[in-house]
Chains A and B, each alone.
Chain A
Amino acid sequence: AQSVAQPEDQVNVAEGNPLTVKCTYSVSGNPYLFWYVQYPNRGLQFLLKYITGDNLVKGSYGFEAEFNKSQTSFHLKKPSALVSDSALYFCAVRDLGGNMLTFGGGTRLMVKP
C-alpha cells in the first residue's frame, strides 16, 4: 500500500527567508508526486507535480520541489517566504498506473513578518 509522511506538523519561518516543507513517500514502482495548499475553510489547490524528468519541479506562486528517488523524498521549497504563504500544505502520491491519490497528514506553514 502506498503512503506519505509529512514529519513536521508545523513549520515556522520569517518572511523573506527560505522555506522547506518535508515529504517522504512509499509506493511500489515509480511514483507520481503532488503538492497541494489549503487555506482555511477552502478546498485544496494544486501547486506542482512530479511525473518524470528533471528532479527539480517548478510550480505556482514561486514554489518548487525536489524529487529524490534514493531518499524517497519530495520536499517543497521556496527561496523567499511571504506572509501570504501561511497555509496548510499536503503532499500526495499515486503509483504508476494506479488511480488512488494518497495524501499525507499535512504541514502547517506559518510565515511571520
Chain B
Amino acid sequence: EAEVAQSPRYKITEKSQAVAFWCDPISGHATLYWYRQILGQGPELLVQFQDESVVDDSQLPKDRFSAERLKGVDSTLKIQPAELGDSAMYLCASSLAGGTGELFFGEGSRLTVL
C-alpha cells in the first residue's frame, strides 16, 4: 500500500538552530500539505501545495518557516531559527487534486527544541 514518507521521525535541536523536514507524498497526488500538531491539540495547516505552487500559506510563520516543492513531488519544510514554541509534531499529507478526497498522512516528524 502506498504511503507518505517523512523524515526524520524524531529531531532534537537547540533553539536558534536550523531544522529541516522532508516529505515524499503518494505517487500521483498533486496536493501536498504540511500540518503542525502541538501535543494534545488538533493539526493546524501550515502550508498547502498544488503541484509546485503554494495554494495557502496564511498560517505559516514566514519570518522563520519556509516550505518548497520545487518539482511538484517531494517537499521540504525548514525552520530557522528554531524556537522553544516550535516543539510539535510536523505532519505531511497528500491527496488527489479536488475537494472530496481524503488526506493520507505520513507518520510525522516530532521536533523537540531545547
Q: Number of B interface residues, CB 8 Å?
A: 26
- Residue from the set B42, B45, B56 with the largest chain A CB neighbour count within 10 Å: B42
State which of A14-22, A42-50, A64-72 sits at the interface with chain B: A42-50
**Which of B4, B43, B99, B108 lies in contact with A32, CB distance below 8 A?**
B99
Which chain A residue lies CB-closest to B35?
A: A103
**Cβ-based interface call for A101 (8 A):** yes
Which chain A residue lies CB-closest to B103?
A: A101
Given contacts A99-B55, A103-B42, contact A43 B107 (CB under 8 A): yes
Query: Total A-B pairs in contact (CB under 8 Å)?
Result: 58
CB-contacts of A32-78 with B (<8 A): 32, 34, 36, 41-46, 49, 51
Which chain B residue lies CB-closest to A4?
A: B42
**Which of A4, A46, A100, A104 lies in contact with B104, CB distance below 8 A?**
A46
Distance (Å) between the CB of B70 and the closest chain A CB?
A: 21
CB-contacts of B30-82 with A (<8 A): 31, 33, 40-45, 48, 50, 55-56
**Which of A4, A41, A42, A46 lies in contact with B103, CB distance below 8 A?**
A46
In the bound assembly, the distance between CA atoms of A60 and B104 in angstroms comes to: 14
**Cβ-based interface call for A96 (8 A):** yes
Closest 8 CB pairs of A and B: A43-B105, A103-B42, A44-B105, A46-B102, A43-B107, A105-B42, A43-B108, A103-B43
A residues touching B (Cβ–Cβ < 8 Å)?
4, 32, 34, 36, 41-46, 49, 51, 90, 94, 96-106
Q: Can you add 6 more A-B contacts, CB < 8 Å, to A99-B56, A101-B103?
A: A43-B91, A43-B93, A44-B103, A44-B105, A97-B99, A103-B44
